[in-house]
């Protein structure tokens, strides 16, 4: 089981940290050097945390927990109008990114109103491509209770965020409703913390399910392999996005075949993954469980 | 500007009161509106907003936004600069020259220059209704797309819903507006 953390510190000996991470079987997921500051997202085996902590202590810097790392989360609002954007939609997305998640934002085509609110099958499929979803509905209790029906059929973990502090509907987090100013006060940050915690709990259930029925290979390992075969284009960020049970890979036309033929031990990638074109962006690789593919290594 | 929100639960009323205050401040109408009354009925999905128009600022003249030196004008409030230039080009054509971002020369006689200084650059009353309707549109929930306006002097009242607005609601809102007028809101 890999643990994903963020290192934040100076450039002094930070290459040693990178080498150590790779030596103990870990991965560098993101790297950003800004003059004298560095930021690294590290994934390493959970049991090796002490080794990493000791190294960070030696070179000076901070290790920050990223509870939502390795998950792509969709923020869904009833529309992309100014009633929902930029606040609170971007506040929520920014906060989740700080917790390590990759976020996408989506406005429903016919999501506004109470009785007339609906979600199309295609929108539902796009949302289900991600690991989890956060729905931000408004401030009226009656509307939120009614609109909760939109999320019922979803096959991924989700959170419903709304204004009223308490509501008797499943997966509900309060105090994040319609607003016209940025969420920056202490009690607002606490509400966002509560939402991130609720999301982590939902994702942990999925993570446990995957642990019980392990995947043929880790998405982190696969990302490294794909990045080696098709190096990210200059200036391109997040060409490969990690999911809990797979990857989203942004490919140029014709590169799909190269991906399918990547060899892992004696197997091809297409034998251990379901590869399909995403309705949203790139290609989705869903890694099959080891029980289905047999041992790869 | 006073804001009163009724009809919803305690949380919804408080949050929409804040939204009203912020939106009117954003569109720059905070001091031009006396009262805003918002009635929310989320169970029937009917929202009523009634805005009482207050004091409207006087028209902005060239004198208000520039400093004069013979035939030279120095813009002191850049917000109105595009409107001023459009006005001067329209009236004096190529006799107007923009020397720098904030400096303009107008090749006219002294008497004509005095008349020029009295010309109206911006009339706030002209687009007041548009700005109020913009604010109302930002406040009312997006789903309430069926709108029914109730005209009355010095006041903008709009009934909004996702369903057709019934006669019953129209009558109810007319009574509401009469009560507001009586109460001075």
> Which tokens go with A140?
């009226």
Residues of chain B that touch chain A, judged by Cβ-Cβ distance less than 8 Å: 8-9, 11-12, 15-16, 18-19, 22-23, 26, 40, 42-43, 45, 138, 141-145, 162-163
Separation in Å, CA of B142 to nearest CA in chain A: 6
Cα first-last separation, chain A: 16
For residue B15, which residues of chain A lie inside 8 Å, CB to CB? Answer: 139, 163, 177-179
Residues B43 and B65 in one domain: no
CB contact under 8 A, A180 and B22: yes
Residues B72 and B159 in one domain: no
CB contact under 8 A, B141 and A138: yes
Of chain B, the percentage scoring pLDDT greater than 70 comes to: 99
Residues B44 and B65 in one domain: no
pLDDT confidence tier of residue A74, bands split at 50, 70 and 90: very high
**pLDDT (mean) for A157-179:** 93
The pLDDT score that the predictor gives to residue B185 is 62
CATH fold of A72-210: Rossmann fold (3.40.50)
How many Cβ pairs within 8 Å bridge chains A and B? 69
Interface test with B, best of A142, A167, A178, A187 (most B CBs within 10 A): A142
Rounded Cα distance between A152 and A133, Å, is 12
Separation in Å, CA of B120 to nearest CA in chain A: 33
Residues B78 and B35 in one domain: no
Class of domain A2-65: alpha beta
pLDDT confidence tier of residue B98, bands split at 50, 70 and 90: very high
Per-residue pLDDT reduced to its tens digit, A110-166: 999 999 999 999 999 999 999 999 999 999 999 999 999 999 889 999 999 999 999
Report the predicted TM-score, pTM, of the whole model to 2 decimal places: 0.89
Residues B65 and B118 in one domain: yes
Rounded Cα distance between A13 and B108, Å, is 72
Residue ranges covered by each domain of chain A: 2-65, 72-210, 219-293
Q: Which of A226-235, A250-259, B85-94 has maximum average pLDDT?
A: B85-94
> What is the overall mean pLDDT for chain A?
92
Residue A277 neighbours by CB under 8 Å, 6+ apart: A283, A284
The pLDDT score that the predictor gives to residue A295 is 81
> Which tokens go with A227?
């990045």
Domain boundary among B122, B149, B169: B122
Structure ipTM: 0.85
What are A202-207's contacts with CB under 8 Å, separation 24+?
A202/A132, A202/A157, A202/A158, A202/A159, A202/A171, A203/A68, A203/A71, A203/A131, A203/A132, A203/A157, A203/A244, A205/A157, A206/A131, A206/A132, A206/A157, A206/A244, A207/A244
The pLDDT score that the predictor gives to residue B156 is 93
SS (HEC) of chain B: CEEEEECCCHHHHHHHHHHHHHHHHHCCCCCCEEEEEEEEECCCCEEEEEEEECCCCCCEEHHHHEEEECCEEEECCHHHHHHHHHHHHHHHHHHEEEEECCEEEECCCHHHHHHHHCCEEECCCCCHHHHHHHHHHHHCCCCCCEEEEEEECCEEEEEEECCCCCHHHHHHHHHHHHHHHHCCC
**Domain span at residue B37?**
2-56+126-182
Rounded Cα distance between B155 and B108, Å, is 44
Cβ(A225)–Cβ(A122) below 8 Å:
no
Separation in Å, CA of B31 to nearest CA in chain A: 19
Rounded Cα distance between A238 and A76, Å, is 21
Domain boundary among B122, B148, B171: B122
For residue B18, which residues of chain A lie inside 8 Å, CB to CB? Answer: 179-180
**pLDDT (mean) for B36-55:** 94
For residue B141, which residues of chain A lie inside 8 Å, CB to CB? Answer: 83, 112-113, 138, 140, 143
CA dihedral for A211, A214, A219, A222, sign (positive or negative): positive
Interface test with A, best of B12, B40, B41 (most A CBs within 10 A): B12
Residues B50 and B11 in one domain: yes
Q: Which residue has the tokens 């650059």?
A: B121
Residues B36 and B11 in one domain: yes
For residue B12, which residues of chain A lie inside 8 Å, CB to CB? Answer: 139-141, 163-164
Per-residue pLDDT reduced to its tens digit, A28-59: 988 888 888 999 999 999 999 999 999 999 99
What's the maximum distance between 2 C-alpha atoms anywhere in chain A? 60
| In the predicted structure, residue A297 carries a pLDDT above the cut 80 | no
């Amino acid at each position: 089981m890999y643990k994903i953390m963020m290192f934040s510190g100076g450039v002094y000996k930070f290459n040693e940290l990178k080498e150590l991470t790779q030596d103990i079987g870990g991965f560098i997921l993101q790297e950003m050097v800004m003059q004298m500051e560095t930021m690294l997202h590290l994934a390493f085996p959970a049991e090796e945390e002490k080794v990493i902590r000791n190294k960070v202590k030696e070179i000076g810097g901070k290790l920050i927990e990223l509870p939502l790392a390795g998950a792509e989360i969709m923020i869904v609002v009833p529309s992309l109008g100014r009633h929902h954007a930029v606040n609170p939609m971007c506040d929520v997305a920014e906060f989740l990114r700080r917790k390590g998640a990759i976020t996408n934002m989506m406005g429903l085509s016919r999501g506004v109103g109470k009785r007339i609110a609906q979600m199309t099958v295609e929108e539902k499929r796009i949302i289900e491509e991600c690991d989890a979803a956060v729905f931000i509905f408004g401030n009226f209790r009656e509307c939120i209770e009614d609109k909760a029906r939109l999320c019922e059929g979803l096959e991924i973990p989700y959170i419903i965020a709304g204004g009223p502090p308490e509501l008797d509907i499943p997966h509900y987090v309060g105090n994040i409703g319609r607003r016209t100013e940025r969420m920056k006060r202490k009690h607002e940050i606490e509400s966002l913390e509560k939402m991130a915690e609720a999301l982590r709990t939902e994702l942990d259930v999925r993570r446990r399910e995957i642990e019980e029925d392990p995947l043929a290979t880790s998405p982190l390992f696969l990302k490294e392999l794909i990045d080696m075969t098709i190096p990210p284009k200059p200036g391109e960020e997040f060409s490969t996005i990690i999911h809990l049970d797979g990857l989203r890979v942004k490919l140029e036309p014709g590169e799909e075949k190269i991906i399918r033929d990547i060899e892992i031990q004696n197997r091809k990638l297409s034998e251990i993954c379901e590869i399909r074109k995403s309705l949203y962006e790139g290609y989705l690789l869903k890694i099959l469980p080891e029980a289905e593919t047999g041992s790869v290594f | 500007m006073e804001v009163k929100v009724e009809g919803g639960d305690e949380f919804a009323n408080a949050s929409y009161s804040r939204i009203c205050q912020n939106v009117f401040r954003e569109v720059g109408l905070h001091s031009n509106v006396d009262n805003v009354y918002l009635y929310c009925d989320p169970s029937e999905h009917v929202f009523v907003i009634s805005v009482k128009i207050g004091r409207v600022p006087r028209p902005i003249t060239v004198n208000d936004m520039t400093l004069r030196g013979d035939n030279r004008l120095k813009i002191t409030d850049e917000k109105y600069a595009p409107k001023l230039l459009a006005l001067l080009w329209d009236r004096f054509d190529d006799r107007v020259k923009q020397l720098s971002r904030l400096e303009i020369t107008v090749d006219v006689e002294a008497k004509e220059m005095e008349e020029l200084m009295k010309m109206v650059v911006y009339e706030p009353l002209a687009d007041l209704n548009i700005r109020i309707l913009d604010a109302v549109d930002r406040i009312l929930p997006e789903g309430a797309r069926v709108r029914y306006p109730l005209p009355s002097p010095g006041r903008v009242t709009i009934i909004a819903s996702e369903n057709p607005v019934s006669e019953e609601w129209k009558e109810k809102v007319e009574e509401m507006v009469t009560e507001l007028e009586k109460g001075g809101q």
